[in-house]
Amino acid sequence: MTTIAASHRNAATSLSSHSSENNPAQSPHSSGFYPSPGSSHPTPVDDSAESDIDLPEGPGRRFWELRLLHNQQTKMTQPFSTPQSPEVVRMWTHDIPEMAMTMAQRQGRCSLLYIMFAQSALNMWTRSTDKQDRDELIKLQQTYQLMCSKEQRRDIEELTQGIAKNADYICFASLKILAHSLALVQTLSVDPWEPPTQWLHMGRGAGQVFTMARSLMDLKSEDFSDSYILRFVNSEPVIKDPRDTILSDFSPLAWLLDHPASPSSVDALFDRELEDEETRSVYEKAMAYTCSVQRAMERGEPQYAIVRRLGAFAVWVPIEFGKFVEERKPRALVILAHFMALWLEHEDAWVLGRAGEWQIRCIHKVLPLEWSHKLDCLFARFKQQKP
């Protein structure tokens, strides 16, 4: 996400008319569309903006924050086709908002509240067809995300100092940041293509926060067994054992690693990438995780469970995979495309949208021709929609 220019400071000074709730917005990549929240291309970088990103106080900001809170509590409480357990629903609709507002009011800790506002603004942006609303929602989403990032530095510093009393709060802020970066994948630029590397990096960062917080909880004498984050982690689907994820069977996708040229060809003979054991391991873990999600889908797990598994890909897969994607290594792109194909069955979940299809199409365009054929089987899975 790029730095927000100083001109975005007045993002919330007006309250525009309500957008259409029933008509879905057009593709964010269609002709004449305005900048997308997740893209690093539309907004100019301003190095001085980091210290001046707070929204101005006033009725405009307050009205927008009421709108964002109202949207979260009325439109986002059941985001999946299959309801989650009553305990998890209550946690998201009552406990976590209460935690966010209490911490903001009593301790001035606002990272969780800000990322909730950013996520709500993004949710409204995906549904709105009103240009003025969308322009303001872009600014709000970006500004609240950056305000959250600024606050989270203090949160993480607290953990590094061995202070565990707010570990539950810090973990949920990190979890919401990860969920937000996942939802932003659907907004990334397709021309030029912008890979979902921010989400992949955010996943590793969130994983480190969870590990650090859990270690502190284990060391302290307080009882954290009833903490919200442990309730969430222990709710279905439980994703804890690497033997079920990154160390599981990846044989259905093993062919993706094979060089597309004939084994006796010059290109195949000079392809030494897989001779590096660490590189091969990164690819195998990414394929293994992808296969584990496919198996969960075949078992008929509900949508909320599948979406959580898809989001956790960024937590479990080695950080080097994101670097390989940035470097546009063909094997990394092919594996990413097959992972994104799992998103196609759940386009109705707003946090995913049509991100899977758009990412696959972009990867197909940037791959060397000989490698692009490994994606041919994916195109038949696209739903019949206008591109």
Map out the domains of the chain as residue ranges.
28-47+66-73+82-233, 242-379
Q: Are 352 and 187 in contact (CB under 8 A)?
A: no
Confidence band, pLDDT 50/70/90 cuts, at residue 53: low
Map tokens 């953990």 to a residue.
159
Rg (CA), the chain: 21
Q: For residue 284, count other CB atoms closer than 10 A to its CB.
A: 18
47 contacts: CB under 8 Å, gap ≥ 6: 3
Please say if the pLDDT value at position 42 is more than 60: no
pTM of the predicted protein model: 0.85
Per-chain mean pLDDT for the chain: 84
Tell me the pLDDT tens digit for each residue of 110-134: 999 999 999 999 999 999 999 999 9
Instruction: Give the mean model confidence (pLDDT) for residues 69-91.
Output: 90
Confidence band, pLDDT 50/70/90 cuts, at residue 55: confident
